[in-house]
Each structure stands twice: as C-alpha cells, then as structure tokens.
C-alpha cells in the first residue's frame, strides 16, 4: 500500500538532511501525517518516516504518539489533534525545562556548555533576564562547529561568552561551576547520547568535581533501548573532518557520543530534576504510550 506524497517528500528531505535538528525533524515528520486516509496507511507512513534518520528517538516518539492517539472512526480529526498536541507538548516541555534549569544558575557562575542545544541557550537567556550575571565557556565542537552557533546566540543575548577549542575543555573546567548540555537520546539504563565529545567533557567534569546537568525533553527517551536496541551511532562522511586528506588515510567521523550516567549529576526534563537512572520512570509515568512497544 502506498504512503501519501507529503510523507514521501518529508521522508526524503529528512534523509537528505534538508531538515535538521532533533526537534525540527520530529515536528516536520509528524506534521507530514496530517492527510493520511486510513489506519493501515498511517502505520505504513510511520514505519517509513521512522527509518529516515537512525539516531532520532524524538521523531519515533512523535510518530508513536500520533499512531496511538488516532481513531479509525474519526481518523482525520484525531490525527490532527494528535499532531497539534505533540507540537504543543514539545513547546511546553522546553519552556518548563528552561524554567527549572534556570534556577540552578547563580549570579557569579562560570558555566560551560558544548555543541548547540536550543534548550540550553533558552535556559541561559531566561537566567540572564532574571538579572543573573554569569559567563559561559563554549568549545567549538568540531567538525561542524556547532559551538559557534551557541556563541553567536549567547552574544546576541548579551551574555559574556568565551570560545575555546574542544581539547582545551580540561584546561578551563576547573574554573567552571556548572556544565549544561542538551541530549539527542536517553537510554533505558540512563546513558545520554549527545554530540561527539560530550562524554569527554563529562569525564573532565567528573575528574574535577564540577557538576554536569543535562537538559532534555522526555521525548528524547528512546523506549527501544529497553528492548536491547543499542542507540545507533551515526557515522558521517570523512570529508567533514578533512576535505583533502592524503591518499590512503582513513577518516572516522562518528557524530555522537555516549555519556555514562555516573558522570551526570542530574537531568532536567519537563517532569522535573532527576537522576539519569530515573528518566525511564518519568517517561513511563508521563507518556505511558511512549514505553509501549509497537
């Protein structure tokens, strides 16, 4: 059975990385379902979209939510309601996380962050608006320099910001009071998957007794990890690292890193501050449909 054109196009655009960023991918993917005609088509569409990007539990959770909410008798309305609700839940989640996490920022703090997370920068902006004075150290995040996006956003908000290379994190971490990071995925045993380099930052934090907080919507929790699926680590093209390498040189370019829960002090989700080991329980209690298996 064929899936709709909307879905196919969106699938292609995600696959070709025209649509990027965990949240945008999830929202666009889910929105493409709005015209499905039947439950079987909905199922097919979800299965197709789920394959568009391997390391994206948020997209898969969105699809699962819509599928779980849809009702044969009133398909169109229930699907659209679900889509809208999913988008709204996302916005609320980020708002709530920023609200909670901003309380952990104190005037006088030196913060550190890594890569780019819109939840992290939103949290910092909020703390700044609350009149807290603090500064932020961010490292460039090779190979794609997402740290520069973070630096630009923070500077735009008038936050004092310092840029360093990734390998200088250990040199500066002893001056930091708190490290805040986003997340791409959280596993059932409390590991956080985030941009390559994140686990090294976490290790340095552990070595120097600096607190590390992860900010993450519960939609990043990957229920499939409960069933043994290892979060797949996307490997990206070598030319991102070195466009003109010498002949015969192999380049390895994994895009993600896995942070052990023992290196994380707390995770802030829309359900509150908790230990990484407990995110699975938060997800189960807040979004019961999420931890049901397909």
Applying CB under 8 A, the span of 36-44, 57-65, 72-80, 150-158 interacting with a copy of itself comes to: 150-158
Query: Vertex 152, ends 205 and 255: CA angle to 5°?
Result: 55
Rounded CA-CA distance 81/73 in Å is: 14
Least Å distance between CB 277 and a copy of itself? 4
Q: What is the contact mask toward a copy of itself in residues 89 to 108, using x (rule: CB under 8 A)?
A: ----------xxxxxx----
Q: Binding to a copy of itself (CB under 8 A): which residues in 218-237?
A: 225-230
> Quick check: 120 and 111 in contact, CB under 8 A?
no
Say how many residues touch a copy of itself, by CB under 8 A. 81
Least Å distance between CB 254 and a copy of itself? 6
Q: Is the peptide bond before 143 cis (omega within 30 degrees of 0)?
A: yes
Between 12 and 189, CB nearer to a copy of itself: 189
Considering only residues 7, 265, 283, 290, which one is a binding residue for a copy of itself as defined by CB under 8 A?
265
The answer to whether residue 115 is catalytic is yes
Rounded CA-CA distance 159/125 in Å is: 8
Between 77 and 251, CB nearer to a copy of itself: 251
Does residue number 286 form part of the binding site for a copy of itself (CB under 8 A)? no
The residue from 46, 184, 204, 222 that is catalytic is: 184
> DSSP label at 187?
-
The answer to whether residue 99 is catalytic is no
SS3 44: helix
Between 87 and 109, CB nearer to a copy of itself: 109
Considering only residues 142, 157, 234, 286, which one is a binding residue for a copy of itself as defined by CB under 8 A?
142
Least Å distance between CB 238 and a copy of itself? 8
Considering only residues 13, 75, 157, 172, which one is a binding residue for a copy of itself as defined by CB under 8 A?
172
Between 8 and 170, CB nearer to a copy of itself: 170
Helix (H) or strand (E) holding 274: strand 272-274
**33 Cβ contact list (under 8 Å, min separation 6):** 6, 7, 42, 45, 46, 49, 63, 66, 79, 83
The residue from 91, 95, 109, 115 that is catalytic is: 115
Between 10 and 198, CB nearer to a copy of itself: 198
SS3 158: coil
Buried b (16+ CB within 10 A) or exposed e, 259-268: bebebbbbbb
Structure tokens at 98: 């920023």
Helix (H) or strand (E) holding 75: helix 75-102
> DSSP label at 183?
-
Applying CB under 8 A, the span of 33-41, 62-70, 76-84, 144-152 interacting with a copy of itself comes to: 144-152
Least Å distance between CB 121 and a copy of itself? 14
Which residue, among 276, 120, 264, 263, has the nearest Cα to 186 in the 3D structure?
A: 276
**Active site positions, annotated:** 115, 184
């Amino acid at each position: 059975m064929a899936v709709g054109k909307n879905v196919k196009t969106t699938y292609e655009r995600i696959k070709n990385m025209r649509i990027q960023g965990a949240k945008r991918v999830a929202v666009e993917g889910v929105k493409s379902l709005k015209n499905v005609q039947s439950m079987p088509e909905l199922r097919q569409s979800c299965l197709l979209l789920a394959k568009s990007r391997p390391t994206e539990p948020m997209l898969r959770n969105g699809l699962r939510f819509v599928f779980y909410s849809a009702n044969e008798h009133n398909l169109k309305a229930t699907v659209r309601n679900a889509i809208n609700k999913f988008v709204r839940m996302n916005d609320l989640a980020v708002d709530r996380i920023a609200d909670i996490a901003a309380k952990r920022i104190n005037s006088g703090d030196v913060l550190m962050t890594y890569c780019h997370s819109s939840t992290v920068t939103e949290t910092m902006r909020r703390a700044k608006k609350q009149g807290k004075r603090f500064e932020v150290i961010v490292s460039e995040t090779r190979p794609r320099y997402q740290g520069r996006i973070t630096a630009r956003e923070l500077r735009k908000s008038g936050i004092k910001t310092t840029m360093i290379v990734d390998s200088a994190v250990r040199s500066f971490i002893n001056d930091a009071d708190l490290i805040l990071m986003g997340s791409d995925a959280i596993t059932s045993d409390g590991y956080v998957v985030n941009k390559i380099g994140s686990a090294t930052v976490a290790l340095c934090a552990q070595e120097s007794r600096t607190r590390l907080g992860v900010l993450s919507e519960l939609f990043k929790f990957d229920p499939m990890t409960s069933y043994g699926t290892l979060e797949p680590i996307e490997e990206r093209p070598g030319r991102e690292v070195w466009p003109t390498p010498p002949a015969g040189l192999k380049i390895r370019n994994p895009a993600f890193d896995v942070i052990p829960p023992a290196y994380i002090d707390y995770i802030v989700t829309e359900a509150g501050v908790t230990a990484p080991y407990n995110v699975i329980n938060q997800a189960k209690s807040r979004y019961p449909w999420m931890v049901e298996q397909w």
